[in-house]
A and B are shown apart, each in its own frame.
Chain A
Amino acid sequence: MSAGRILVVDDDPQIRRAMRATLTARGYQVSDTRTGEEALDKVRSETYDLVLLDMNMPGVGGIETCRLIRSSSDIAIIMLTVNNTDKAKVEALDAGADDYVTKPYSTPELLARIRANLRRLPQAPDDAGLRQLTLQGVELDLPSRHVNVRGRTSRLTAREFDLLSYFLARPNRTIAHRELLQAIWGPDYGDELEYLRVFVNRLRKKIEPDPSKPRFLVTDAAAGYRFHFPH
């Protein structure tokens, strides 16, 4: 039984070979392509659980490919790049990636990230009876992950949903960055503050009536984030 289907997208043949060998040995089903265009075709025609996407590719490029995949799919995306700056990380996450790994990566680290991204938190908050939630003009349909704010409907990605569920289960409590990162991304995380920044902003865009003045998802100075749940 396969541990998961992974699509590797990288223009360097050696990296594709190395990844294929490593991942196949760990029980994953691997298929690979060398361009963003081919990746888009494959994602449309076949089913994958996760995409390992190189950021720096000729043609469409990794960021644009990520955006295009994300526009039609909730599949987990991990971006890989040699660029280790916050700017590049934020760019990747903003484009819809779930995670980010710097090249050259170490194989155990990559495997841990893949496992973390294939693992999903329970699909509903701890308060299991809750299916539909309405807060001050914001309607959340938990099973379908749809959000409706003033007639504008959007769908949360799996990761956004996990984050929101975690907040909803702990209303009106400041949750530290580290706790959020380890709960949502996994035990190997903790310092990736830019992940939180990007994902909280994405959530705000979807659930806040005015994302620039958040009413629900508030920042608590240097400590963390808090979900303000009106009584």
Chain B
Amino acid sequence: MIASKESKFHYIFEGYPRKAGRLALRFVLALSLVAAITFVFFRLIHVNATTVGFFYLVGILVIATVGGFPEASVSSVVAMLCFNFFFLPPLGTFTIADPQNWVALFAFLATALTASQLSARLKSQTKDALDRQREMERLYALSRAILLTDNTQPAAKQIAHQIARAFEYASIALYDRHTSEVYVAGPAALPEMDAVRPKLTEVAIQSRVLRESEGILIAPIRLGGEPIGSLAIGHPSLSDAALHSLLSLVAVGLEKARAQEEVNRAQVARESEELKSTLLDAIAHEFKTPLTSVKAVTTDLLSNPDEPLSPQQRGLVAIADEGADRLARLVTEAVQLARIEGGKFQLNRGVHFPSSLLSAALRQAKSLTDGRDIQLQVADDLPLVFVDAGLVGMVIAHLIDNAAKYSTPGSPILIGAGVSESSVIVHVTDQGPGITADEQSRIFGKFYRGTQGQHLKGTGMGLAIAREIIRAHGEDIWVRSSPGKGSEFCFSLPIASEDGAE
């Protein structure tokens, strides 16, 4: 019986014919030694039976030490028979005359068997220890190799390659559940490995070890109970403990690679976001710098009380001034939209009174609403809202601006705020020409200009930006209108919770 600690994974068909031949040779050699001792003492040197018995014992010990238990035990029995036949009287028979010799014979047999068994066990333990040491060295080499995986190739592929190399396996297959890829590695990628491909997935999910008849072992790779892949090894000679360590190492290796990949991806995203932001800033700067000098000059000419312009000059300069304004707004809004559309603009949220948001926006839109009849209707005791005041102010100002632009100068503009179940609703109502149902679905799109407003100043981006801003708050913006009856734009804002945040 070979030491019980020997692995279950110790596959006997590993080089089976070669092993059987070697065992036969060991038997032949062992029996030859017994025969040689018999021959020497029977024919050449004549000594007493006790001495011959000791020599047989020494021979058995040699066989047990060099060989193994099977040949040692067989040799013991053969040696006992030879001893009896050739050296114990009556010679030439298997009968024993002197009863004392029976005792000697059994003592001899017992000694021979015990010694051979002890020797064989020691040998097998030494071999085990060496095997464990080898496994440890291989696992260590593998752990180092896994630490050094780089991102030139898929990590699972590199790990598969490293396992095959560290353990000198002819063929292995590694299934990475994250990428659903199977990597086959090893100098002799066995055809069986192609056959196990479908089973790799199954093993990974079911989390149980599978032994194939072709000598392939498939084991699941888990990390914290989560199946992350599986490993198939052709003809493994690993102890259970080493196999578990190997699987844990691979799990850690795959996880490390996945985490690294995530970090890299986030880094790339951040860098491209930064690049985009820098680019947008540069564009805004390049466009606005020449506009600044134009605007400085036109506003100076229009406002200088010391050298007033003639009405005709004033009209012409006003055209240039308005053109510069429009261009500046176009650049601002295009850059804003590009920034907001990236989806990564940060809301600078705070707790605000809806009424102060409205009055700040009204001041912002002051130049456009000069002389207009603005009616403010804010419900009493509105709850506080948790919003980015700057951006929401921009939305309100834009809606007021639109209302002023698309309605006749004499008509009133109604601005109000009320509360619904879960949000504060702000609305801006005008008595303009209204918007058809068809147009209502399109006005929040980019660059859409109302059919009525072709002659008006604007970029067609304002409502698209407004929608992005409101949606970033997790709320919505909509319009209610019918042709000839004016339009009402509404949007909702999140209510601040008691403790001052959302």
Contacts and interface: CB of A to CB of B under 8 A. Distances in A.
B284 interface: yes
A191 interface: yes
Contacts of A108: 299, 303
A18 B296 contact: yes
A18 B304 CA distance: 14
Contact of B300 (A12, A84, A103, A107): A107
Contacts of A191: 360, 363-364
A190 interface: yes
A196 B300 CA distance: 30
Nearest to B339: A85
Contacts of B293: 12, 14-15, 17-18
B288 A103 contact: yes
B303 A222 contact: no
Contacts of B312: none
A19 interface: yes
B294 interface: yes
B284 A105 contact: no
B299 A106 contact: yes
B7 interface: no
A56 B296 CA distance: 18
A15 B292 contact: yes
Contact of A105 (B295, B353, B363, B390): B295
A110 B352 CA distance: 30
Contacts of A25: 300, 304, 306
Nearest to B388: A86
**Which of A19, A86, A104, A190 has its CB near the most chain B CB atoms (within 10 A)?**
A104
Nearest to B327: A104
A222 B297 contact: no
B290 interface: yes
Contacts of A15: 289, 292-293, 296
Contacts of B296: 15, 18-19, 22, 104-105, 107, 110
B299 A12 contact: no
Interface residues of B, number: 30
**Which of B297, B306, B352 has its CB near the most chain A CB atoms (within 10 A)?**
B297
A169 interface: no
B374 interface: no
Q: Size band of the A side of the interface?
A: 20 to 34
Interface string A96-107: 000000011111
A190 B356 contact: no
Contacts of A109: 299
B195 to A, nearest CB: 61
A109 B295 CA distance: 12
Interface string B346-361: 0010011100100010
A40 interface: no
**Which of A85, A106, A108, A190 has its CB near the most chain B CB atoms (within 10 A)?**
A106
B304 A103 contact: no
Interface string A72-105: 0000000000111110000000000000000111
A211 to B, nearest CB: 21
A125 to B, nearest CB: 30
B495 to A, nearest CB: 15
A15 B285 CA distance: 13
A200 B399 CA distance: 34
A49 to B, nearest CB: 20
Interface in B285-335: 285, 288-297, 299-300, 303-304, 306, 324, 328, 332
Contacts of A82: 284-285, 288-289, 292
B281 interface: yes
Interface in A9-62: 12, 14-15, 17-19, 21-22, 25, 56
A107 B307 CA distance: 14
Contacts of B289: 12, 15, 82, 103
B299 A103 contact: no
B131 to A, nearest CB: 64
Given A12-B289, A191-B360, A86 B299 contact: no
Contacts of A22: 296, 300
B306 to A, nearest CB: 7
A222 B354 CA distance: 12
A129 B295 CA distance: 48
Contacts of A110: 296
B297 A18 contact: yes
B196 to A, nearest CB: 58
Contacts of A12: 289-290, 292-293
Interface in A107-124: 107-110
A106 B306 CA distance: 17
B324 A86 contact: no
Nearest to B281: A83
Contacts of B352: 222
A86 B281 CA distance: 15
Nearest to A16: B293
Given A104-B324, A191-B363, A84 B332 contact: yes
A104 B295 contact: yes
Interface of A: 12, 14-15, 17-19, 21-22, 25, 56, 82-86, 103-110, 190-191, 222
10 contacts: A12-B289, A14-B290, A15-B293, A25-B300, A56-B285, A103-B289, A103-B292, A105-B292, A105-B299, A222-B356
Closest 8 CB pairs of A and B: A104-B295, A14-B293, A107-B300, A106-B299, A18-B296, A107-B299, A82-B288, A104-B292
Interface of B: 281, 284-285, 288-297, 299-300, 303-304, 306, 324, 328, 332, 348, 351-353, 356, 360, 363-364, 390
Given A15-B293, A105-B292, A190-B363, 17 more contacts: A12-B289, A12-B292, A15-B296, A22-B296, A56-B285, A82-B284, A82-B285, A85-B390, A103-B291, A104-B291, A104-B295, A104-B324, A105-B299, A107-B296, A108-B303, A191-B360, A191-B364
